[in-house]
Amino acid sequence: MSKFNTNLVHGIPCKENKTGAVNPPIYTSTTYAYPNAESAVRWDYARSGNPTREFLENQVARLENGDRGFAFSSGMAAIHAVLSIFSPGDHVVIGDQIYGGTFRLFNQFFKRWNIEFTAVDTRDSAAVKTAIKPNTKAIYFEPITNPLLHVTSVRAIAEIAQQNNLLVIVDNTFLTPYLQQPLNLGADIVIHSATKYLGGHSDVIAGIVVTKNKKLSDKLYFSQNAIGGILSPEDSNLIRRGIQTLSVRLDRQLLNTQKIVVFLQKRNDIKKINYPGIVGTPEHDVAKNECKDFGAVLSFEVQNINVIKFVNNLKLFQLAVSLGAVESLAELPAKMSHAELSAKELLSCGISPNLVRLAIGIEDADDLIVDLEQALNAAK
């Protein structure tokens, strides 16, 4: 089998491509003709299958070392399809710092269908074990959380799950298969918001699911086809194209992140930095054992400066939610991504009003550091 970077570029050849084109075609047809009424056809209706989408799905499944991939119209559509494999009365243990949209989907949608959820700090194996009930079917978590960058061991959760005959479902958007392959660590299903690093250019919304075995693949295919939240051929091609440069982009983003962390560590106006790449932290020790690198997102708390003035003075860092694209972004979780939470809820989550999250892009690191320095100095 080819190595990872080669697979990024080439994927699995599209068998429908008869022209010699180096890139797979974009098939926009919604329906496909039968040679005759008794034919057993590979393609019939585009919701059920599309050659362009299938190329992407096969490509990501290969990168994750999984059985089969599934492409959806958004990350939330992907998560919805995964949770739809459970039945009324089932119980799922979830991480207590999962993405807010995921938490909303679980608690304001799936609870109505009598699926139960218990949120715990998945770094605490004892808490996870205590949360398991007779009707528990799965453990769902993010190996690196947003915005505090807490790190959970996939291996540790997988060991607990195997002892209790549970599925392990991992949202690995922050790391991508380039930095971690959860299925190789014992997970059963891995999810990505492909909007982020896989697409990489802030120009397409998409979600990806990869399953470990055929039994799960059959369940996910049924959900994908029945619910219908599929990714369009045009958007499938954008994600396919983005994936080809994933490692090149991430290598630059990782290097930039390391330089920015060193800069922040020297500042007296930075109270705390949250990043798994910092040696000596519990997060670092876990991530070092299970990840190729530590990601290109970090957060930090400022002190003795006006945090609003700081972010408003940034020039290269754009003030926006999301992450994973070529441009660097900054956000205030308390005012933006987590604005729906009360002050008490924010405090219980460990999110300070002075917390800033950065998603590092591929610009020159020196320029990014100058931008941060000037904005910090202007906010004193």
Per DSSP, the three-state class of 86 is: coil
Size of the chain, expressed as the number of residues it contains: 380
Helix, strand, coil in percent for the chain, rounding step 5: 40, 15, 45
Catalytic residue among 27, 53, 68, 99: 99
Which structure tokens are listed for 376?
């910090």
The DSSP bridge partners found for residue 136 are 91
Cα separation, 231 vs 204, whole angstroms: 10
Cα separation, 105 vs 3, whole angstroms: 37
Alpha helical stretches, state H, the chain: 4-10, 51-64, 75-83, 100-108, 125-131, 154-163, 176-179, 214-227, 233-244, 246-265, 282-290, 307-312, 343-349, 365-378
Catalytic residue among 90, 96, 171, 188: 171
Catalytic residue among 53, 123, 137, 196: 196
47 catalytic residue (yes or no):
yes
Catalytic residue among 32, 47, 67, 124: 47
Helices 75-83 + 100-108 axis angle, to 10: 40
99 catalytic residue (yes or no):
yes
380 catalytic residue (yes or no):
no
266 catalytic residue (yes or no):
no
Q: What are the distances in angstroms from CA 127 to CA 36, 119, 130, 190, 237?
A: 59, 10, 5, 22, 42
- CA 165 to the chain's CA centroid: 25
Residues 6+ apart with CB under 8 A from 144: 150, 151, 174, 175, 276, 287, 295, 297
Which candidate, 74, 77, 39, 211, places its Cα nearest to that of 138? 211
Active site residues: 47, 99, 171, 196
